[in-house]
Structure 1
Amino acid sequence: MAIKDLNVVVWSKQGCSYCAEVKQYLNEKGITYKDIDVTDHDDRRDILEVKYGVRHVPVVEIGQENQYEAITEIGVQYIEEALKNR
């Protein structure tokens, strides 16, 4: 499966340097993504807590259709690893 066929979702907040780093990395790689901003939206953090047991961002979801892998660790290297395995 080509990277361009993947759906990528970045859960982020304003002013988050780690979130900006993730988005910059994806932009540099030409990977399109949907950004879900959790700033002032605790209900969105509630979704993260239910799905992955975390309330922090960034969280990056990578997948296709209904099969997603979530990267909850901080650091671009974890995203690189997940993309390499695709």
Structure 2
Amino acid sequence: MAAPNIEIYTKFGCGYCYRAKRLLDEKGVAYTEHDVTMGGPKRDEMMARAPRARTVPQIFIGDTYVGGCDDLFALDGAGRLDPMLDAA
């Protein structure tokens, strides 16, 4: 069973982005980081995938929109993050 594709949209110097990436690093999972500091096509992509998103990070696990850093930590605290990371 393959791990899901994890994507995180970030900005340079964002403390919440750092915390979210650190949690994923501690979990030992690979993720793709999209830096949207300067806007551009990746920011447009983020807005299309999460239309109400106005802040970073914005996190996707597979096809599931997780939300931001607090949402990621809430999933972890509820014991629901690890199963998502293990699912294909």
Q: TM-score, normalised by structure 2?
A: 0.74
- Residues in 1 aligned to 2:68 and 2:33: alpha-carbon distance in whole angstroms: 17
In the alignment, which residue of structure 1 is the partner of 2:73?
77
In structure 1, distance between residues paired with 2:38 and 2:9: 13
Q: 1:79 to 1:7 in 2, by over 3 A?
A: farther
Superposition CA RMSD, Å: 2.0
Matched, 1:15 2:10: no
Unaligned 5+ runs, structure 2: none
State the structure with bigger RCO (CA 8 A, min sep 6), 1 or 2: 2
Q: Where does residue 22 of structure 2 map in the other structure? A: 24
Distance, in Å, in 1 between the alignment partners of 2:8 and 2:47 is 15
How far has the Cα of 1:78 moved from its partner?
3.7
Alignment coverage as a number of residue pairs: 80
Gaps of 5+ in 1: none
Deviates more, 1:15-24 or 1:46-55: 46-55
Deviation at 1:12, TM superposition (A): 0.5
**Identity fraction in percent:** 29
From the superposition, tell whether residues 31 and 79 of structure 1 become closer, same or farther in structure 2 (CA, over 3 Å).
Answer: farther
SS of the residue corresponding to residue 25 of structure 2 reads: helix
More strand by share: 1
Q: For the residues of structure 1 that align with 2:40 and 2:26, how far apart are their CA atoms?
A: 30
What's the secondary structure of 1:14's corresponding residue?
coil
